Structures are given as C-alpha cells and as structure tokens.
Structure 1
Amino acid sequence: MAPITPFTIDIPDEHIDQLHQKLQHVSFPDELDDAGWEMGVPLSTMKRLITTWREKFDWRAQEKKLNEQLKQFTVPVAVDGFGDLDIHVVHHRSENSRAVPLLFIHGYDLLTDILLNTGPGNFLEATKLIPLLTQSEDSEGVSFDVIAPSLPNFGFSQGIKKRGFGLAQYAETMHKVILALGYEKYVIQGGDWGSIIARIMAVYYAEHVQAVHLNFVPVLPPYPWRNPLLFLSSLISVPFSAKHRGYISRSLGYKSIGNAYYKQQASRPQTLGYGLHDSPAALLAWIYDKLHSWSDNYAWTDEEILTWVSIYYFSRAGPMASTRIYYEASGQKPDDVERWMSLDQSFTARAPDNVRFAVAQFKEEVMMWPMAWYRVIGNVVKEKEFDRGGHFAAWEEPELLAGDLKEFLGKGGAAYAVIEGKDGY
C-alpha cells in the first residue's frame, strides 16, 4: 500500500477555465413577486452570487489560503470488499504530548430521512475549530490532535463506483484512517452524517472509540412497542413542556416538508446529479439553500459561500458523488457485502456502555428532541443546550462547540480519563 503523503490542493487551470465559461452562460428563471426565501434561494441573491463567482471570486487565492492554513495528507486505507482508497485528511497535532486524538467527521450539508436530514459539509467545517482545540493547555486543561478526513466521495478523497458502499463502510474507512495515523484509541466529534457515522463506529469499534461528542442526534421517538419505559416517562414530562413540544413540532415539520432534498438524493441521485455536475448555478442553489435555512441567522459572506461550493464543484469524484451516501444508506444489504447497517438501523443501534457520549443541542438545529430521548444511543453522560447556533455549529459557533468538547473531556469532565495509556487520561 502507498505511504501517507503530504497533499496540496491544486485544481488544474482547465477546470477553473471551464467553471468560468459556464458562469458566463448562466440563465435564470423568473420568480413570484415578494417570494423571499419561501420558495428557495431568491433570484436577486442568485444573480449577485453568480456575478461575484464569475467576476470577483479568486479560487487561487482561496486555494493558497487553505494550503497555508491546513496540514493536509493523503492516507491510503483498505476497505473490505472495496480495495485500497486514498483519503484526504487534515491532520493537526497539538504541541502538548498528552493531547487527545479527536476525529472530526463532517456531514453532507447538501444533505437524511424521516428523522434525519443533513446538510452541505466538508473538511472546511473543521478549520475554525483547529486552532481552538490544538492549542497547548496546562495540566488543568485539555488539547487535541485534530484529524479531519474528507469522507469517500467528498472533497479530495477518492470516489467509490462499486455498489454497496454504505454507512458501515464509511465507518470502517474513518476507523482505518485513525489507525494508519498511529492512534489506537480516540474520541470523535460529529454532526450531520458525521453524527451517524460516529455512532456506528462506537458500535463496531468500541474498544478503540473512547468517547463521542455529537451536535446532531437523529433518533426514533420512543414508540411504546419499542421503548415502553421511555414512552411512559415521556407521557408524564413532555406534554407539559412548551419547549419540548416546540422541539417535536420542529422535527415533525422537517420530516413532512423539510426533507425533499433527502428523498430525491436517496431515490434518484443520478437524475439530480446531471444538474449538480454540469451546472454551477444548480450546485450553488442546492447547497446555499441549506446553508441559509439551517443556520441561526449566520451572516454568510459571499467568499465563504463560494469557497464552500467551489470545493464541491472541484471535488475529486465530482459534486454528484456525495449524494450517493443517501441512496446507499437507504437501500438493502447487498449480497456481496459482509458488514452492513441501514439508516433505520443506525437510529436504534446502541453503543456499548464503555463509550461515553455528550450531546450538544444548538438553538436552530433542524431536528430537535427532548434530551431524555437521546439516551437510547448509549451511555450519555453530558447534555447541554445552547441558546444560539444552528446545524453548522462548527462553523457558526466554533467557540461554543470547542468549549463543550473541553468540558466533556477535560479535567473534571464527564469523560475525563477515557484515553488509556496517557498520563492523566
């Protein structure tokens, strides 16, 4: 197998030229008067962003900034039944020799099902967290080695063309990346798809995964035939809480009208893919719709939006490849794939109790339940609700997310001392 090698983002000139040529010929539909955001991204916003992308946005400047800011590598891993894969990884080590290995798993924040719907995400989500987490702390604090891979089919990781690369395979890939970098025991932070994959890793690799911090936790409601004790408890407490009723209403609203993008990607990703691959305007609208709708009034700059979307456009496997996770997660177990977990199964899977969980719930998350319902996922030892922030917590409120991680894993925290073999952990 090839060695771990340094990686530099270097998009070929012809790909940038092609993007500019397509942007020169974008045509726009009309829209209803005073539509605002009710029907999607407003026409005036799209026209402004396309003009900026075409005339002002400098990809080479963003590429240079990312290459200077991020320590990037290509890590080869062998996934059972799928051969060797090249995985793009951002890996920053703390100067503290006692730093905790933290696997940060992004989501598809273009992007999940009846009770999950996740949005367009990539390794960029970790960039604001890295300096907050890797800075060396004294003996009373905690610092981290941050490992932020691009999932297969995302960013600059290799794409998968063989059928059956499902959630178990994403989990296996992430676990083997960590092992390849020399870590035997580690903790995970995840939101969006990263939350689902982190929970699956906690089930399959509990001897390695010491703790998991989640800021998005899709679970099934406590139906009486599935969890009678939690159901009875909910009858007593939840109906009398206006806050909890609001959470449930939000989640059911998302299930009924907010997950159309998921249903399309889970059922006919190829059909959608032609538009995402060929049209930068379609890709921009598809992603920015969720960036805007799922954040807590975050003031996205044009540069942030266009950098985020450009990474999808220039991704190694192409922007359509990232939609396949929806299709595979919602399908049936292929005959030639040994390990498999569907999305529905992931909602009910419970990790062994040695893995400690923390749940952080931000004010404008797309799906929210009463905290008590999250305890079905495993040994939840820390719960916290924040009065601001949305689905993209690592980007919108990095200080809050980093602070919660440190409370969870630092001295006196509910998961302190979980990393075996380290003095003080």
Structure 2
Amino acid sequence: MGTLLRITLVVLAIVVGLCVHKYQELTSSAPIPQLNDAEYWGPGSAEKYKENTTIKDFDISAKKELIEDLKAQLSRPLVLTEPLEGVGFQYGFNTNYLKEVVAYWRDTYLPKWGEREAFLKQFPHFETQIQGLRVHFIHVKPKSIEGKKVVPLLLIHGWPGSVREFYRLIPLLTKPNPKSEYVFEVIAPSLPGYGWSQGASKVNFGPAQMSLVLRNLMLRLGQEKFLIQGGDWGAILGANIVTLSPQNVLGYHSNFCFIIDHPMIPLHKLLRNWFPSFFIKEENRIFLKPLYKEFILNLEESGYMHIQASKPDTIGTTLSQNPVGLAAYILEKFSTWTNPAYKQLENGGLTKRFTLDELLDIVMIYYTTNSITTSQRLYSEGFTIAHFALNLDATHINVPTGCARFIHDFLPLTDFELGLRFKNIVHSTYHKEGGHFAAMEVPETLYSDFVEFVAKVFTKPQSKQ
C-alpha cells in the first residue's frame, strides 16, 4: 500500500471518527434544567404574596353589559375591503364571508347567548391560585367506574383554541367504554393568560415555566401520577412536564408530536427525504412533503407566529375589544389549519368540520375575558434566547410516548426524527382524516387512538427515569 493511500485512509478514519463523536455528542441527552417551581408570576411583590390553596367553584358567566356592548358593536355599519376577484382565503379571511359570520353572530348566536353560556357550563369549572396566578380548570370525574380502572388525565389545549376544543372529547373519556378497561378523570386547565386563567405579570413566563404551573395544579388536586394529552402548545407544555417532572407522568400522548429546536433535525429530515423507505411505511408517505414544500408552507402559515413572538402587545391591542377583527384573526386558523385546501374556498371551509356556534364559542371566550394579548405573549416568551438555552428539546424523554398524526396537520415528524428526544415511543399512528384541531374535529378518532396508547402504557414494561 502506497504512503499516500495510507495517509488518506488515516485522515479519512480520523474524519469519520470525529463525525461519529460529534454525532454522539449532539444526540446525547442534555441535562434536565433546574427551575424554581414556586416562582411568583403574579402582580406586585412576591414578598407580600401568600398562596391561597383553596379550590373554588368558578362562574364563567360574562357580564350582561359586555354582551350588550358586543351587540351594539356588531350592529354598527361594517366597513370592509372587498376581496380580490375569485379569491377564497388565500389572502386571509375573505371579507364577503366575514359579513355572513358577523350577521350570524349578531342575529342568531347572540340572541341565544344564554343557551350557549349554559352549554359552556355543562362541565364543572373551578379555580385555584398557583404561583401568584388564578388558574381556571375543568374537572370531570367519571360517574360510573364499575369494572374500570380510573386514570387521571391532564388535557392541554393550544392557541388559538381553549378548553372549548375538548367538549366533544371529554364525554368520551369520562364515560366507560366496553372497548377499553380504562376510564379517565379529566383535568383540562385554561392555560395561564388564556380564557378564564390569569396571565403572568412578569417577563420570562415561557413554556417551561407554564408547564410547572400545570404540573403544580395536578399536585394540588392530589394527582401525583397522571397521563398527559395535548396538541399545539399542549404538545409542547406536555413534553416539558415530562422533561422537568418525569416522576409524575405515566404516559404522554400528543396529536402534534414535534421537535422545534434540536441541531440534528435538519440532518434527520434530509436523510428521511432522500431515503424515505428506511424511515416510514409507503402507505404513510402521503403525510410527508418534500423539503421545499415544507419550507413554502412554513412561510405561508407562520406569519402570525413571527408577529406574536416579536410584538404580541401590538397585535393584541388591535384585536382587543375589536370583535370583528378578533373573529377574523382566530377563525382563519380554523380554516387553513383544519385543511390547507380550504383556503381555495370563499367560506374557508369553516362549516365543513365545525358549526359556527362552536367556532363563535371560542371567539367569545377570548372576547369576554379580554385574553387575546396575554395568550399571544406565550409566543414571545417561548422564542427567547433564555428559553432556547434551557435546551429542552435535547433532553431525552423516557416516559412512554404516543404520537398520532393527522393528514391535514402541519409537517408531521416520523419516529426517526422524534427519536432524537422521545426515546420510548410505544404508539405511533397515521390518520387519513383530520387536521390540527383533532379533539374538536375528529374526537372519536383521537379518543380511540388515545385509549390504544393507554393500553400499551400499562402493559409494556416501564422505562427507568
């Protein structure tokens, strides 16, 4: 063997060794961040704060004056810019259809507000004080448990949703089903700053800190070990709870499993894009898009995120006490996030999967609680250098994990990519119906997927934490 060839092979071996070492370094688990789980987030000084641990009934009724004022606002002349000819929702909410939504809101929905409010009150609502914040939550216990195992479940919503997303799902979870030996005690909190829960008064209340508040809520209710299910922010918060407090979590299930901040994600996506047959079954490849289409979709659909991550109070101010603008801003997401193809339709396909009553319930929760600004601040706090420095996405999760993908949701990750963080994926599914708001759109499918996951959690050996 010639000297040059020997040198080349030695250099190549060194390079390969360095690459392997670097890969192992980048894919090893980051340490669990040590956060203060009693940090005060309320107004004023923490020195004067004494936590009231009482759990109280909570009345979600809106003030009559607010409803009367809303009627007056919706009765004013509606001055809107006409949409471009032949356009659906490609430029945002189509103003021709917005006129119909406003008319329905004013003339049909609000006259029966008492009925809608009674519907929202069908589940028991409570509040308690945690770390300086008044936290609202729905708590539903199963009425009949004969022959069933009751398991506590933390159900976490996202933006621009609310606990209203779960009104079809909760009855399925809390009613015994002959196909499952489990029934669930459901705790569904309004995220701090969303709906009926108080927003933080201090900066740096990000997804990690919020997840500890939710964990502390479960401990307040006497639930030392529980399951988690969530989508959107609920997926992130749920994964954070598992990361920071794995000893409290029996299993984590999400309809939006993803990793946003891991240095190896781009490489794993490239490998999956080049050699898909190694990483996903052929029948499920329709869930994935070529990388250039992923990039385009991200550009098209993430504008709101950049605004809310940088100037949440500015956009919040334009939407607060502006019912028409608020409805357009929120409901547009229920169009394209349910199915991107709906943007071709003048009505955005909003009533293909939901009723206007359901959608306006969600708008009303934001409007009557004036919580749009505080809800959007989570984006600002979640995209800071301080938050990324926690390196949560690089901290391995060994708790049993279930990931359900829905065909019209955003850019799902395969188990190959998710394996960078989730080391114990016991349940992985692909559903050819449904989008981002699965709990609200296809609750039966989500329920069936969840109980299949739960059965695996309690039959497979548990990994050591």
TM-score, structure 2 as length reference: 0.78
Query: What is the letter of the counterpart of residue 105 of structure 1?
Result: I
Give 1:85's aligned residue. 133
Map 1:113-128; keep pairs closer than 5 Å. Answer: 120-128=160-168
Query: What is the letter of the counterpart of residue 349 of structure 1?
Result: T
Match of 1:72 among 125, 142, 163: 125
Give 1:327's aligned residue. 380
Q: Is the 8 A contact 1:105 1:189 kept in 2?
A: yes
Give 2:365's aligned residue. 311
Q: Is the 8 A contact 1:330 1:343 kept in 2?
A: no
Q: CA offsets per residue over residues 185-230 of structure 1, 9 Å max, x none?
A: 001001000000011111000000111001112325986x679788
Q: CA offsets per residue over residues 39-97 of structure 1, 9 Å max, x none?
A: 11112210011111122213222111211x2111112222xxxxx22111111112327
- 1:155 counterpart SS class: coil
Deviation at 1:233? Answer: 6.8
Deviation at 1:278? Answer: 2.8
Residues 1:403 and 2:451 are matched in the alignment: no
Q: Is the 8 A contact 1:329 1:343 kept in 2?
A: no
Deviation at 1:150? Answer: 0.2
Change in CA separation of 1:159 and 1:222 when aligned onto 2, cut-off 3 Å:
closer
Cα distance in 2 for partners of 1:302, 1:347 equals 37
Q: Is the 8 A contact 1:222 1:230 kept in 2?
A: no
- 2:289 counterpart SS class: helix
Cα distance in 2 for partners of 1:16, 1:176 equals 34
Cα distance in 2 for partners of 1:34, 1:267 equals 33
Change in CA separation of 1:3 and 1:245 when aligned onto 2, cut-off 3 Å:
closer
Give 2:413's aligned residue. 369
Q: Is the 8 A contact 1:250 1:368 kept in 2?
A: no
- 2:165 counterpart SS class: helix
Structure 1 unaligned runs (5+)? 79-83, 109-119, 334-340, 420-425
Give 1:388's aligned residue. 433
Cα distance in 1 for partners of 2:334, 2:123 equals 23
Deviation at 1:136? Answer: 2.4
Give 1:81's aligned residue. none
Give 1:237's aligned residue. 276
Q: CA offsets per residue over residues 326-384 of structure 1, 9 Å max, x none?
A: 00111233xxxxxxx43994443322x2x110000001002223342122222111100
- 1:278 counterpart SS class: coil
Change in CA separation of 1:292 and 1:76 when aligned onto 2, cut-off 3 Å:
same
Cα distance in 2 for partners of 1:28, 1:100 equals 50
Change in CA separation of 1:271 and 1:418 when aligned onto 2, cut-off 3 Å:
farther
- 1:35 counterpart SS class: coil
Change in CA separation of 1:344 and 1:389 when aligned onto 2, cut-off 3 Å:
farther
Give 1:20's aligned residue. 71
Change in CA separation of 1:244 and 1:59 when aligned onto 2, cut-off 3 Å:
closer
Give 1:338's aligned residue. none
Change in CA separation of 1:417 and 1:131 when aligned onto 2, cut-off 3 Å:
farther
Give 2:241's aligned residue. 201
Deviation at 1:301? Answer: 1.7
Match of 1:145 among 182, 185, 197: 185
Give 2:98's aligned residue. 46
Identity of aligned residues (%): 30
Whichever of the two has the greater Rg, that structure is 2
Deviation at 1:414? Answer: 4.4
